[in-house]
Homo-oligomer: A and B are copies of this chain.
Amino acid sequence: MADATPLRPLPAAEATWDRTADVVVAGYGIAGVCAAIEAARAGSRVLILERTSGWGGAAALAGGFIYLGGGTPLQKALGFEDSPENMEKFMLAALGPGADEDKIADYCRGSVEHYEWLVANGVPFKAEFWGEPGWEPPHDEGLMYSGGENAAPFNTVAEPAPRGHVPQMSNKRTGSKGGGYMLMKPLAETAEKLGVTAEYDVRIQRLIVDGDRVVGVVAKQYGKELDIRAEHGVVLATGSFAYHDRMIEGFAPRLIGRPGAAIEEHDGIAIRVAQALGADLAHMDATEVAFFGDPQMMARGILVNGRGQRYVPEDTYPGRIGQLTLFHQENQAYLIIGEAAYEQSLTTETSTPFFRQPPTWAAETIAELESDMGLPELALQSTVELYNKHAVDGKDPLLGKKQEWTKPLEGPFAAFDMRGFTAGFTLGGLRTDLDSRVLHVSGEPIPGLFAAGRCTSGVCAGGYASGTSLGDGSFYGRRAGIAAAKN
């Protein structure tokens, strides 16, 4: 089916310029705001085109993790040692296979400076650490493990250091704004102070070219087409393609019917307008995968697949549980937990009370449970028997769950049906270089065209850690602004 928009670039000779700026940024989320700030600081007149009625994008609705490390002042203040090399080791192990090694090295080397830049631009981080398993800190703590750094197998690959930096919220529980909002707000205010202008309810349609060079963008506002001239460059930053059905079906079919953690405006338009110019793509199948289980409960139980087999250390980053469940276990997962441990998880201060649900099954014995759940005969019994034999000694040779969480399962038992408990957003997109220049399929940059954020392929390929998306979006958003201004 054809798109409503033609996508093919408009020759500059046919454009009737309605607006002009030095740098035109499409999308006012995390990548767009960072690009705008840096371009404005470099002396450019910057115009942001935003599809919705206000700044924010997916970032403002997100938990707000920014993946930073290598020894940030926050890490140091909280007593955690880290280095760019150590951070790089983890990211290469956790975000591949096929992750962009140059980008990861670059990102790790620039991480401390990037933290300082965010702080200098008003983003607040509270020097408090949250050490419990969970998706996000429950209050306004500023630092947390967010990628399984302290769990098997990564805790044997690199020295564990928490790198999930969360902008400080006033009080999350009373319904005030979350970390992502507290990231976007000071940055949007900074942009405004620098004279960045924004137009809202504007959708980009296609690029305007002069020969091979991008010199503007056609956008639509209230039904009217606008030809917007970019004297120095266009920065694409309109987010993922999680809500473009044809792209999901063609590139990331495991997400069919389960887009999540992105906003519906994420329609892949930046990717498509650049593809129409011959832009190259990368890792279009890569996705973040959320898993709607309570980490406090999961750590205290065992997760099994549709065959009743364990497959992931239950105390790791829940996003990793999500990926391994969706990618490798056909989205089949069950949590088995002893009643006492289940009760304990409910009274623990946990970050994700909304993931709590009543057990799907309950039984005195694993044999009963196995039969009630319809698992293959003897399979769950075999799994629990093996788990318990080692758990008596606090050991988990099969998967390396940490000793503190490894205790024998004791009846009566509860089991939770977690099949299909996943949703996610896409991580693949335009191939860009370290200056956020969009690369043509020939490998050469497309003159005048820059991109950052989730319309690009960033530091992730097969894996994910919370904060890498706002992380590389902000990091390479800045690069895009700098490069476009200079262009």
Contact = CB atoms under 8 A, between A and B. Distances in A.
A443 B250 CA distance: 12
Contact of A98 (B3, B249, B275, B398): B249
Contacts of A250: 98, 280-283, 431, 457
A2 B442 contact: yes
A442 B276 contact: yes
Given A97-B256, A284-B285, A309-B309, A5 B442 contact: yes
Contacts of A277: 278
Given A284-B284, A398-B379, A2 B96 contact: no
A151 to B, nearest CB: 16
Contacts of A96: 253
Contact of A254 (B97, B249, B284): B97
Interface in A356-380: 376-379
Given A97-B254, A386-B379, A278 B8 contact: yes
Contact of A442 (B3, B389, B441): B3
A116 interface: no
A246 interface: yes
Contacts of A282: 250-251
Interface residues of A, number: 57
B382 A441 contact: no
Given A3-B443, A7-B441, A285-B285, A461 B276 contact: no
A85 interface: no
B253 A97 contact: yes
A440 B254 CA distance: 24
Contacts of A5: 442
A397 B382 contact: no
7 contacts: A2-B444, A98-B249, A253-B283, A284-B285, A309-B309, A328-B329, A382-B383
Interface of A: 1-3, 5-8, 96-98, 212, 246, 249-251, 253-254, 256, 272, 275-278, 280-285, 307-309, 327-329, 376-379, 382-383, 385-386, 389-390, 397-399, 431, 440-444, 457, 461-462
Given A96-B253, A251-B284, 18 more contacts: A2-B443, A5-B442, A6-B442, A8-B212, A8-B440, A250-B281, A250-B283, A250-B431, A250-B457, A251-B281, A277-B278, A278-B278, A284-B284, A307-B398, A309-B309, A378-B386, A378-B397, A382-B383
